[in-house]
Amino acid sequence: MICYSFTEPLYLIFSPDLPALFYYSHIVTAIVAIFVGFFVLKSGKKLLLNRLLFAISICFFFWVVSNIILWTNIHSNIMLFVWSLLRILSSMMSILSIYFLYVFLEKKDISFFLKGIFLVLILPVIILAPTYINLSGFNLATCDAFMFEGGLFQFYRVAFGILAMLWILILLIRRYHKADVNFKKQILLVGVGIELFLLSFFIVTFLAAYFTKIGLLPDSRLEYYGLFGIIIFVIYLSILTVKFGAFNIKLLASQALVWGLVILIGAQFFFIKITANFVLNGIAFIGILIAGPFLIKSVKKEVNQRELLESLTLKLEQSNSNFAEANEKLKGLDKLKTEFVSLASHQLRSPLTAIKGYISMLIEGDYGEINPKAKEIVDRVAESSNNLTLVVEDLLNVSKIESGGMKYDMVKFDFSELVNNTAKDLSITAEKKGLKLTHKIDMSHQYFVDGDKEKLRQVLINLIDNSMKYTEKGKIELDLDNQDGKITLSVKDTGAGVDPEVEDTIFEKFSRGEGAKLNASGSGLGLYLVKEIVEAHHGRVWVESLGVGKGSTFFVELNEVK
């Protein structure tokens, strides 16, 4: 039966009796609700929180659609059918809001018991909604069913709505106290949003219906304003999503802004009656549709770059941390190695000293004459033990330097005297190898230095020994000069030379150039020790060579002391 005082709407929902605000408040909010619902669901189909929000938005959407039908339709049977559903939908929104909040706060589904309680509360509304307990008739004169609504059912429904709001409030307060600072902000956003939504929706729709029923209002148009509660809710959810990434959505503020503007400006078309305003609104709408995507794209690009930079920085920090850790481990290992070398060398020293002592006694005939063949072998043993002693000494010195235990006994002495004596001592060894060792000292200068005589003697021995090892034939020349307070000793040989590629690394530990093929007995530490000792005396050492096979000249520079 049709309501005889009202006219059929145009295109099913457009009634001339209703103001533009009706359509603005209903259509815009329905679009916003369904859009947000699907957007959230799409972002996390398997997440319970997203599904619940979708369910709330769907209930709200259908509530709005039902309400549009109720306001525009004039068929009593259709209106009663929709009226019965309306009460169910508003109660569903309340119960789903409580469920939603539980899941949001606890980050997990609710217990079986709580689900049971929710069912017990909502099922009477669902089951009794289409019965006489809720709706017994329809008023064709006013085209509504207010006078035929069951008092008990309405009381239960209203009490249920109030209970839901109180329940949410208590839940929020209790959880807020236990939450950390970050989560407190999120609780506030969700809590305020959801309460404002329920409050505005429930109170206004309830009050509008109640005042209409008791005759205080001619109709329930007041409820239009309650629907804007969903906009408030969506705003709070948007802030939550943008700031905290809630619902597993990566939403930029610019996206939310552009979409909000599109909906807001687009909805104006229902409201505007003046042509000029319609045109201006259209221009603004088109502008947003064109400029909006560009804005979103550029902001997204910046955000992505910033995030990439942050992740790279994090990776870099992690790498640095790993490197630092590895470095510490290496330092530890290096220290252990140094200690081991020192210990091993000390352990080797004593037996070597004993070997050298007995060999020298044998050579000197303390145990009687030895035959020439045996003497030859004993001489070789003596030479090998001397070489081994040198290697052990080098190892010990290196371990002392690395552990910072090398001590220098600095005194003022004549360096030229040291060069002279050392050259004389080693010339015999050089002759045995078929090499000529000469030395030239410019006696017009002074050669006093402040240094450790023994260590500098070691430097000279290592340099000369190094030249002897890598020179098959020819000569080794020592040259000492003093220019402007810089005492320079050069050790020039006609040996294997130095490959320019390894010139920079020749003074490093265990570095042996091409010439290593000539000599297998070197430890690779001689020149390293030379460099360390000379640098400890504030001097410098370097090598010059024309290339492989073209000989080399080692230089040592020390500061003269007057």
Partner 1 sequence: MMYNRKYNYMKTKQHFYNHIFFYIISFFLLVTIFNSFYRFIIKNDYIVYYEDKCDPYTESCFMSCEADSCIYYKKIQKYALNVYTECGNNITNCYQASVCLKNDKNCSITYCNLNIDSNCEFINNSRIQNN
Question: Does 483 help bind partner 1 (rule: CB under 8 A)?
Answer: no
Using CB under 8 A, pick the residue from 12, 147, 291, 343 that binds partner 1: 147
State the minimum distance, in angstroms, from the CB of residue 223 to partner 1.
22
160 vs 224, beta carbon nearer partner 1: 160
Residues 78 and 145: beta-carbon distance below 8 Å? no
DSSP-assigned states of every residue in 221-279:
TTHHHHTTHHHHHHHHHHHHHHHH-GGG----HHHHHHHHHHHHHHHGGGT--SHHHHH
Site track 161-180 with partner 1 (rule: CB under 8 A), x = hit: --------------------
Q: Does 140 bind partner 1 (CB under 8 A)?
A: yes
Q: Which of 24, 1, 146, 29 lies closest to 83 in space, CA to CA?
A: 146
Binding residue for partner 1 (CB under 8 A) from 139, 347, 384, 559? 139
Which residues, in sequence order, are bridge partners of residue 382?
none
- Note whether 550 and 492 are within 8 A (CB): no
Residues 445 and 484: beta-carbon distance below 8 Å: no
CA separation for the pair 1, 140 (Å, rounded): 8
- When asked if residue 129 is in the footprint of partner 1 (CB under 8 A), the reply is yes
Is residue 288 involved in binding partner 1 (CB under 8 A)? no
Gap between the Cα atoms of 96 and 370, Å rounded: 110
What is the CA 358 to chain-centroid distance, rounded? Answer: 67
Which span (115-123, 184-192, 303-311, 445-453) binds partner 1, by CB under 8 A? 115-123
Nearer to partner 1, 69 or 435 (CB): 69
Considering only residues 44 through 83, tell me which ones interact with partner 1, judged by CB under 8 A. Answer: 75-78, 80-81
- Toward partner 1, which CB reaches closer, 98 or 558? 98
Residue (127 or 309) nearer to partner 1, CB: 127
Tell the smallest beta-carbon distance from residue 140 to partner 1 (Å): 4
- Nearer Cβ to partner 1, position 140 or 264? 140
Among the residue ranges 135-143, 216-224, 320-328, 524-532, the one whose residues contact partner 1 (CB under 8 A)? 135-143
Closer CB to partner 1, residue 99 or residue 447?
Answer: 99
Q: Is 119 in the site for partner 1 (CB under 8 A)?
A: yes
Question: CB of residue 85 vs partner 1: minimum separation in angstroms?
Answer: 7
Cα distance between residue 38 and residue 55, in whole Å: 10
Distance of alpha carbon 217 from the chain centroid: 62
Helices (H), ranges, 179-226: 181-213, 223-226
Which amino acid is present at 235?
I
Residue in 30, 85, 242, 426 binding partner 1, rule: CB under 8 A: 85
Nearest CA-CA partner of 46 in 260, 247, 191: 247
- Amino acid type, 130: P
- Which of 135, 240, 258, 456 binds partner 1 (CB under 8 A)? It is 135
- List the one residue from 44, 130, 292, 524 that touches partner 1 (CB under 8 A): 130
Pairing of strands 474-483, 435-441: parallel
Q: Does residue 118 bind partner 1 (CB under 8 A)?
A: yes
Sorted by sequence, the CB contacts under 8 Å of residue 265 that are 6+ apart come out as 281, 284, 285, 288
| Binding residue (CB under 8 A) for partner 1 from 45, 107, 115, 329 | 115
Task: Look up residue 113 and give its two tokens.
Answer: 């018991």
- Of the candidates 25, 21, 18, 13, the one whose C-alpha atom is nearest the C-alpha of residue 201 is 25
Segment near partner 1 (CB under 8 A), from 125-133, 241-249, 395-403, 534-542?
A: 125-133
In the complex, the smallest distance separating the C-beta of residue 128 from partner 1, rounded to whole angstroms, is: 9
- Sequence-distant (6+) residues with CB within 8 A of 335 are 403
Q: Which phi and psi angles does 535 have, rounded to 5°?
A: -65, -30
Closest CB 83 distance from partner 1, rounded Å: 9
CB of 219 to partner 1, least distance (A): 16
Asked if residue 7 binds partner 1 (CB under 8 A), the reply is no
Classify the C-alpha dihedral 453-458-463-468 as positive or negative.
positive
Contacts of 172 (CB under 8 A, 6+ apart): 101, 105, 187, 191, 195
What are the residues facing 491 on neighbouring strands?
A: 478, 554
Region of 118-126, 221-229, 266-274, 442-450 interacting with partner 1 (CB under 8 A): 118-126
CB closer to partner 1, 24 vs 99: 99
Nearer to partner 1, 122 or 344 (CB): 122
Kindly state the number of chain residues that form the binding site for partner 1, as judged by CB under 8 A: 35
C-beta of 220 vs 385, nearer to partner 1: 220
Stretch that binds partner 1, among 119-127, 172-180, 196-204, 428-436 (CB under 8 A): 119-127
Shorter beta-carbon distance to partner 1: residue 99 or 197: 99
**Which helix (H) or strand (E) segment is 473 a member of?**
none
18, 27, 122, 261: residue in contact with partner 1 (rule CB under 8 A): 122
Cβ at position 91, least distance to partner 1 in Å: 11
CB of 154 to partner 1, least distance (A): 17
Q: Residue 245's CB: how many other CB atoms inside 10 A?
A: 11
Q: What's the rounded Cα separation, in Å, for the pair 335 and 231?
A: 69
Binding site for partner 1 (CB under 8 A): 1-2, 4, 75-78, 80-81, 84-85, 88, 92, 99, 109, 112, 115, 118-119, 122-123, 126-127, 129-131, 135-141, 147-148
